[in-house]
A = this chain, B = another copy of it.
Amino acid sequence: MINIGIIGANGYTGFELMKILSRHPNARLQILTSRSQKGKKITEAYPSLTALKDQSFEDVDMDKLSKTDVVFSCLPHASSAEICAKLYKSDVKVIDLSADFRYKDIELYENTYKVKHPAPELLKSAVYGLPELYRDQIKNSSLVGNPGCYPTSAILPLYPLLKENIINNSSLIIDSKSGTSGAGKKADVDLIFSEVNESLKAYAVTTHRHTSEIEEVLSLNSKSDVTVCFTPHLLPITRGILSAIYAPLNTAVTMDDIYSIYAQYYQSEPFVKVIQELPQIKWVANTNNIFIGFRIDSKNNMLIIISVLDNLIKGASGQAVQNMNIMFGLPETTGLVG
């Protein structure tokens, strides 16, 4: 059994981790921390987590956390790195769901998040937790920076095509639409039902932080200088992301050419499904899958890719558990719905 701590468990990613791990055959949820909820029973805050009926939220106790096998951090950036650094140095494996260990370029991180990184020396030891690109390094790592939800939805479809030089590495347009759980569980009047319902809005246009994460990961992996124009939207649904990606083609290709490339990269991936149809969000809700479909607009020499994933699962907590499975030598799909 893997003894597990979750820091900042009272939020949507924390909730999802508790849900997945309470059903995971090799996991023992030992410590669940939440400053705001400490002392409260888990089932008081989350009645549906009936399996955790005997456990309560605790305050952060570094001593106790340092005796677990792995800690998932759901803290906000900057606070997260601080505590993760300590745990990492105490030989606890760490999976950080914040942005703190996703970047290689410290300056890019600091410009993006407008904070000083509390543990820049660890960036070189950290691995970007996208199994499809970094599986071997994750296997041997003790510090994983779990990818952002939007970046997962954009990097997986783009990476093979950039690597094979099929599409342009600049002028990539990523038009993403996310369910509201992506904004977190917080008392914000802009997130209340009557504001979000029966509407749609674009937000953080040209300024969203995930832009630099997408660009860095794709640039490093395609050995080219990738730039993207990224526009997120807030959807009136609870969970799921659909990204429409517009990629100018470098060369004349057929649908089959593109299927072949994807097959080459992803055919044995358990959670990546490249399909003939254009995927819909409801096909991936509550699963760790990402579906990818595409069409060629010959008139405009443009490839249009549609990807969908569940922002709380493949976009966050499911992927974190996938990383844990890899780090502990378990079958990668253990405890996950594919």
- B-contacting residues of A (Cβ < 8 Å)? 12, 23, 47-48, 50-51, 170-171, 173, 175, 177, 179-181, 185-189, 191-203, 205-206, 227-229, 231, 233, 235-240, 242, 244, 246, 248, 273, 275, 277-287, 289, 291, 295-297, 299-300, 302, 304, 306, 308, 337-338
Contact = CB atoms under 8 A, between A and B. Distances in A.
Contacts of A177: 177, 200, 233
A275 B48 CA distance: 11
B193 A185 contact: no
Nearest to A289: B50
Contacts of A195: 185, 193, 282
Contact of A50 (B273, B282, B302): B273
Contacts of A273: 47, 50
Given A180-B194, A192-B192, A281 B246 contact: no
Contacts of A185: 189, 192, 194-195
A50 B23 CA distance: 20
Contact of A238 (B170, B197, B231): B197
Closest CB pairs A-B (n = 8): A199-B282, A201-B280, A193-B196, A180-B193, A187-B187, A175-B175, A48-B283, A191-B192
B300 A227 contact: yes
Copies in the complex: 4
A51 B271 CA distance: 11
A201 B47 contact: no
A47 to B, nearest CB: 5
A261 B191 CA distance: 34
B202 A284 contact: no
Given A50-B338, A199-B282, A233-B244, 6 more contacts: A12-B194, A175-B246, A191-B193, A191-B194, A192-B193, A200-B242
Nearest to A312: B194
Given A48-B283, A304-B231, A238 B193 contact: yes
Contacts of A202: 242, 244, 278, 306
Contact of A173 (B23, B189, B236, B246): B246
A200 B50 contact: no
B275 A244 contact: no
Contacts of A304: 205-206, 229, 231
Contacts of A203: 278
B200 A192 contact: no
Contacts of A282: 48, 195, 198-199
A262 to B, nearest CB: 16
